[in-house]
Structure 1
Amino acid sequence: MRSDVFDRTVAAIASRAQWFLLIEELPTRKGFLQAVAPSLKVVGVFALVVVTVLQEELRIVGPLVVLSVLLAVASRIPLRTFLGRLAGPPLVAAVVVAPQAVLMGGPQLSVVPLSVEGVDYVATFTVRVAACVGFLSLLLLTTRFSTLLSGFDRLRVPRIAVLLLAITYRYLLVFFAELERMVRARRSRTLTDPDLRRTWRDSGNFLGTFLLRSLERGERVGRAARARGGTGGTPHRPPTRLGRADLAFGLVVAVTVLGVTVA
């Protein structure tokens, strides 16, 4: 059984995606955000993200990233896990807006031909993306998906939107599980080290077959759900009283929003 670059790349993507979707250990830990009611957590994170997006100064956006890290520590989320989720999107954002450091006018840095205003814009945009990703990661890492759906339902989010989110989540699980199975099957049939030309040719066939199989399997999942009476509603959870963690989180969000607005 041999593997090539294509196999290893696709297997890594499938494995990381399933880890991202199926993580169940962190929401059960006795941490700060784990004890917050899901509906309040959704509203609080939404408020923090909106406030972050509206900021245009690095001196304000920077502390918001620090706040997300502190909340992760208080929620007993390993920093390696949290920073691993936090690193990717800001790097992509930095690459996308990097040309603005050259294209924007104004005074230039003395060492390199980059404008001061452009560098500040790139840094602010990147840190802003990091803060938003950090807050959203906190929501996903500390809340089971079923609990998150219950929170949306309690907030009176349109039922069709909740069902579409549940179906999308279910299909993504099927999608990446099928991808991992196909990679495993391809490895078991490969006895020699393939050259670059063969890898390129086989990758096209692999992707075409994968799309067809994932479509067929998704249809079977849909038929199975309809046979059981539908896609299933969100589980009913009795209303809970606000506890200390809820009040503390609400206070953190209120102070943050007020402080950012006044600054």
Structure 2
Amino acid sequence: MGPLAAEDHLPLDFLEVAPENWIGVGGRYGREFRALAERFPIVLHGLSLDIGGPDALDVDLVRAVGELMREIRVPLYSEHLTYCAAQGHLYDLLPLPFTEEAVRHVAARVRQVQDILGAPIALENASYYAQPHRAMSEAEFIGAVIAESGCDLLLDVNNIYVNSINHGYDPQAFLRSLPLDRVRYIHIAGHYDEAEDLKVDTHGADVIDPVWSLLAEAYSLVGPLPTLLERDFNIPPLAQLLGEVAQVRALQAEAVTPLERRA
């Protein structure tokens, strides 16, 4: 389990794990994982639910996720507003068409998942690099899925920034157009600069200043909600990661919510 398993007093409020990596895991790794779950609250962030895909929903996966949630007392399961399978897993998170038909398709599948789990899930606004079809804006699509399904929003701030560069929109205006009253928690991460007008969401670099600024703007709109720092590779020493966690805390402490601004 790496350095987390060896540290007794880490300044962390919660951890996020992919349930696919831990369902059915026993032995030493399973024991260490469950020991971490005793020390820190854990949320589950899935990678393979394929909530927007054409294949039948993987009900066995959803039931296994529910069992893991009950076993280690997980308060929330989130996934990506994407698809990742078509006659088998594609091992990538691919963009959906922004259409009414896609809204109905995704919302029905979300409701099925929520019925099995007995609780709302959260969907993450995803990064994407090409758009298959657009009959409504991205923000309208996200809002329609959430309204029709009754799910919550996992707000990924870095994805907004990456998409704003790749697709040429104002990230703050996009942020304000989302159903912010449904945000459950927030993601922050780094990305790769492929070119001046092409950013790739990698979770493999430090968070940059414009993304920190957008996170501060998000806090001003929704308050200092729980925020996860994502780092999947090129992982630096733990002290450096905890420095970014401290920056998240500092922005949360400085957050001025709309209610405070009116006072």
Give the TM bin, normalised by the shorter chain: under 0.3
TM-score for the superposition, normalised by structure 1: 0.27
TM-score for the superposition, normalised by structure 2: 0.27
Structure with higher RCO (Cα < 8 A, 6+ apart)? 1
Q: Which of these two proteins has the greater Rg computed from alpha carbons?
A: 1
Whose strand fraction is larger, Structure 1's or Structure 2's?
Answer: 2
